[in-house]
């Protein structure tokens, strides 16, 4: 019987982009709920630190470096889960970044890199996660989109916005394709969130001003609040929720 305070005890979760920000918060949340967590990122130092924090707190976590835009790396990541745990219950496909600016201030390489990280990567992850989940009788996948994929965002470029919109439709497609396998697929669209990536582009005052302008609740989102949405989407409480995009954005709507 599972502890009510640790409802994911005996379960296994994979989190990509887990070395910091939203991925780190989700990794800690999965571990706090009792799941064993495989943490993946290209940032080895940060990823190892998150795994160590979980282990120090009495949880179980492993780190594996992977560039999830490369299929061989994704295949190796899922094979590590198979070898270590035998199954996969939850996957949070949480990578994204952009290069270039606006609609014309980016190169073809900027476009390709952005689309690969934001859209190709979660597709590759699902491609390899689904067979392992199917073999275990089902599971839950959450992809990270963005409010830039829902509404116009002046701080996001055209490639990032298009790719994140693509994640939403890809999630809907996958939800229908894998429903018969007992696999639910949803996505979250964070609003302006306090992450290292945001801090590269906006200082603290700019973050406050933009949040006040775009998010009616009037403040920036904390990574833990995205993690809370991910945890709910993976929980039995969301057993009839699939193909949905959950906006965690303080009320920002498509305009």
DSSP, collapsed to helix, strand or coil, labels residue 167 as: helix
DSSP, collapsed to helix, strand or coil, labels residue 101 as: strand
How far apart, in whole angstroms, are the C-alpha atoms of residue 95 and residue 89?
19
Widest Cα–Cα separation across the chain: 56
- Alpha-carbon radius of gyration of the chain: 17
160 is catalytic: yes
Residue 36's nearest CA partner among 19, 59, 66 is 59
**Of 90, 152, 160, 173, which residue is the catalytic one?**
160
How far apart, in whole angstroms, are the C-alpha atoms of residue 20 and residue 41?
9
What is the number of residues in the chain? 255
Structure tokens at 11: 């379960």
Q: Are 244 and 229 in contact (CB under 8 A)?
A: no
Q: Are 246 and 191 in contact (CB under 8 A)?
A: no
DSSP 126-141: HHHHHHHHHHTT-EEE
Structure tokens at 15: 């989190």
State the pairing for strand pair 183-190/139-144: parallel
How far apart, in whole angstroms, are the C-alpha atoms of residue 144 and residue 167?
8
Residue 184's nearest CA partner among 227, 246, 228 is 246
Report, as residue numbers or ranges, the catalytic residues.
160
């Amino acid at each position: 019987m599972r502890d009510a305070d640790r409802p994911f005890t005996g379960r296994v979760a994979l989190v990509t982009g887990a070395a910091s920000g939203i991925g780190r918060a989700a990794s800690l949340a999965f571990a706090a709920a009792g799941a064993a967590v495989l943490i993946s990122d290209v940032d080895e130092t940060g990823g190892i630190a998150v795994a160590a924090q979980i282990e120090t707190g009495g949880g179980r976590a492993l780190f594996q470096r992977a560039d999830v835009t490369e299929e061989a790396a994704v295949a190796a990541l899922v094979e590590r889960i198979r070898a270590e745990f035998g199954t996969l219950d939850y996957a949070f496909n949480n990578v994204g970044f952009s290069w270039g600016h606006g609609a014309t201030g980016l190169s073809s390489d900027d476009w390709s890199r952005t689309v690969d990280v934001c859209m190709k990567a979660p597709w590759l992850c699902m491609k390899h996660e689904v067979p392992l989940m199917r073999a275990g009788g089902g599971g839950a996948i959450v992809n990270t989109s963005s409010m830039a994929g829902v509404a116009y965002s002046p701080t996001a470029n055209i490639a990032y916005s298009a790719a994140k919109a693509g994640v939403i439709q890809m999630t809907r497609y996958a939800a229908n394709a894998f429903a018969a396998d007992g696999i639910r697929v949803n996505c979250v669209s964070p609003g302006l969130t306090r992450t290292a990536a945001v801090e590269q582009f906006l200082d603290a005052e700019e973050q406050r001003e933009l949040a006040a302008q775009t998010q009616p609740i009037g403040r920036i989102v904390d990574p833990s609040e995205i993690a809370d949405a991910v945890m709910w989407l993976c929980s039995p409480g969301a057993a009839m929720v699939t193909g949905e995009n959950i906006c965690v954005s303080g009320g920002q709507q498509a305009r």
